[in-house]
Amino acid sequence: MRANLIVLLVIVFLVGIGIGDGRISTHLPWGNQLSSVNSNLPSTLDYSSINQVYQALRDNYDGNLTQTELLNGLKHGLADAPGDPYTEYFTPAEAKDFNDELNNSFSGIGADLTENSSGDLEVISPIAGAPAAAAGLQAQDVIAGINGVSTSGMSVDTAVDKIRGPAGSKVTLDIVRNNTQALTLTITRANITAPSVMTKILPGNIGYMSISTFADDTSSLSQKAAQQFETDHVKGIILDLRDNPGGLVNAAVDVSSLWLPQNDMILQEKRGSTVLQTYTAEGDDTLHGIPTVVLINGVSASASEITTGALHDNGAAYVIGQKSFGKGVVQQLINFSDGSQLKVTIAYWYRPNGQNINHKGITPDKTIQDSGEGLGLPSDPQLQAAEAYLTK
């Protein structure tokens, strides 16, 4: 499986999906709270028992404690109390990291890594204009060493951690190119905001659109890509949502609307049996009627699943790959005056066919296993199956 330096999949997926990675609905501002199923709780908590624990810690703990640490611990504990993996409290610093990750903003060199069939760390592609590309790093370069340490046996996750670092700092990579040429590149890290949408034209005039996460820039970039596909008169489209852990619901609606006629249902949000909101296509269906394949895998979650379900259930796309992650909850991001945030589950979302996919995922029309050599590479059987479907 690919680990993505530019999207921080190690963090966004393992930390993100595992604890609720911000697959956020933005339609409900704090202050317009929904009628609560917890109205039986008191309006304020009795903190007497908490103060007993506090006094015991203060009087007996052999170590340094700060008031901020204790208060943050209480807030984290409150968010953890429901046992919902998608409800979480963020300190101001954690909130900044979360929003940076959601919008593909990070400090690093700007390159995608994978483990190739030989077990080596291989560059999929550097981001144009990012430090990696400027320093001469190329696709299919093998990273043999990081800061003088051999990468033999090193996982992609570990390599990501070692290559990333503060903007302005340097990392030295030992590179093997074309299996023969040994190079050493010293790259200065920078703050990077990577685009969430990448497109190209495949052989046979097939438009390829890959969305890494549903971020602030996804709507505009996907619309631009759709217009280019229309201009190029593509005969088919591959929408690659593999390794995409989700993102903003509104971005998923905008992307789905590129294929769906106005008022086609995209999803419904429900709290119990009450429908909170129905999202429908907005009428900008530039790609309507063009044969389309959506690629998904076990990392495709939430907003990715919204888009996949909307296109499939409305007859706009065929789905290939592996069963998706299965995150069918809607969350609201509540901002506090000190910069902290609460990400809280407020509802469940349902596909146009009426299904909620939470813990179930979406099963593709055709299941194709990943080769393990990296997505988008020549040995990518899922991509090959999509091309074959569109050219048959």
Each residue's pLDDT tens digit, 109-152: 988 787 887 889 998 778 778 899 999 999 889 999 999 999 99
| Residue 11: pLDDT over 60 | no
Using the predicted structure, report yes or no on whether residue 183 has a pLDDT greater than 90.
yes
Q: How confident is the model at residue 197 (pLDDT cuts 50, 70, 90)?
A: very high
Q: 126 with 139: CB under 8 angstroms?
A: yes
- 392 is annotated as an active-site residue: no
- Looking at the DSSP assignment, which residues form a beta bridge with residue 279? 267
> Could you give the angle at the alpha carbon of 215 between the alpha carbons of 209 and 221, nearest 5°?
40
pTM metric for this prediction:
0.74
Which of 300, 299, 377 lies closest to 118, judged by CA? 377
Q: How confident is the model at residue 26 (pLDDT cuts 50, 70, 90)?
A: very low
Is residue 302 part of the annotated active site? The answer reads yes
CA separation for the pair 20, 303 (Å, rounded): 12
pLDDT band (50, 70, 90) for residue 20? very low
What digits encode the pLDDT tens for the residues 74-114?
999 999 999 988 899 999 988 887 887 777 777 889 887 87
Residue 327 annotated in active site: yes
- Taking CA atoms, 30 is separated from 34, 290, 299, in Å, by 10, 40, 30
327, 343, 370, 380: the catalytic one is 327
Q: Choose the catalytic residue: 21, 285, 313, 370.
A: 313
pLDDT of residue 128: 77
Provide the pLDDT for residue 19: 27
> Is residue 3 pLDDT above 60, yes or no?
no
Q: Annotated catalytic residue: which of 25, 212, 302, 324?
A: 302
